[in-house]
Amino acid sequence: MSTQNLNARPRRNRKSSVIRNLCRETRLVTESLIYPVFIHDKEKDESIESMPGCTRWSLNGLLHEISESCELGIGAIALFPAIDGNLKSPDAEESFNDNGLIPKTIRAIKDSFPELAVITDVALDPYNSDGHDGLVDPSGKVLNDETVAILIQQALCHARAGADIVAPSDMMDGRVGAIRRELDSNDFTDISILSYSAKYASGYYGPFRGALNSEPKSGDKKTYQMDPANAKEALREVMLDIEEGADMVMVKPAGPYLDVLANISTNVKVPVAAYQVSGEYLMIESASTAGWIDRKAVVMESLTGIHRAGASAILTYYAKSVAEWLK
């Protein structure tokens, strides 16, 4: 048998599980996971047709789910509300109702789980009868500055209820700075801002919109969410948000935009989050249900890839399952 005269044999670092663990560059940990949860103002939990395996939680159901999540070591959740159609309006006034679904839920969570980090979505699409992230004028144009004025009130409402982090996901220009100024001037200097800085006008959001019944009634979101073809623009958006006071920034979706995520992570000094969105989730679920892929293996590989690309925090509907597997 002939033997090559090789100084370097990389396979030596892969010859056993112990050696592979010693040489591993990226380690996915439960502490890096954020668990997105859907809530509604009903007494019973509901399965979500567009996202099999996910649930719209009642308050009691949510508190039980959080209890199990905390036992697994998950330290942060992100709340997404399914708002009753009767409460939706063109001015999205329900978005800053101090007695609304989100503030009520925050207070209940903090009463039972004070150490849990509660992240709230700041955007108008769950509350807007037009289904857009911003106010819409009669011509169909999504208004920027008028929307920011409402987002400020929404962020303050969440802060008053006890949110730890507000996360503007609307992609309006200047909203991070406006929210930061208002939070600070109202003595909420400790409230963090996690900005959806590079949020793309993606086809991967469909199942999520089904979960919240928040599909735009007309038009699309391409005038405010980013063009999927653009990467340099993402860095510009991120830098602007950091200048305005963002404590953390986010790339959404995660999987199709690993190049964007890696570039941002290399060029900024703040934590970078990434959102493994509903379409990514549903593709994995559909393929694994059909027996075409190994669900656990693909979930872990996809999240490791997101982490490897530079995400220090990952929003994923698999957070609870991954925490169980890691434990």
Reduced to 3 states, what is the DSSP secondary structure of residue 3?
coil
**What gap in Å lies between CA 137 and CA 116, rounded to an integer?**
39
User: Which residues are CB-neighbours of 301 under 8 A, at least 6 positions away?
Assistant: none
DSSP letter assigned to residue 52: T
**256-258-259 Cα angle (round to 5):** 110
**What gap in Å lies between CA 17 and CA 118, rounded to an integer?**
37
| Percent of the chain as helix, strand, coil, to the nearest 5 | 45, 20, 40
Q: Are 120 and 79 in contact (CB under 8 A)?
A: yes
Q: Are 253 and 225 in contact (CB under 8 A)?
A: no
101, burial (CB in 10 Å: exposed 0-12, middle 13-18, buried 19+): buried
Tell me the one-letter amino acid at 58.
Answer: S
Q: Are strands 33-40 and 76-82 parallel, antiparallel or unpaired?
A: parallel
By annotation, the residues acting in catalysis are 199, 252
Nearest to 79 by CA among 197, 199, 173, 169: 169
- What are the residues facing 273 on neighbouring strands? 250, 313
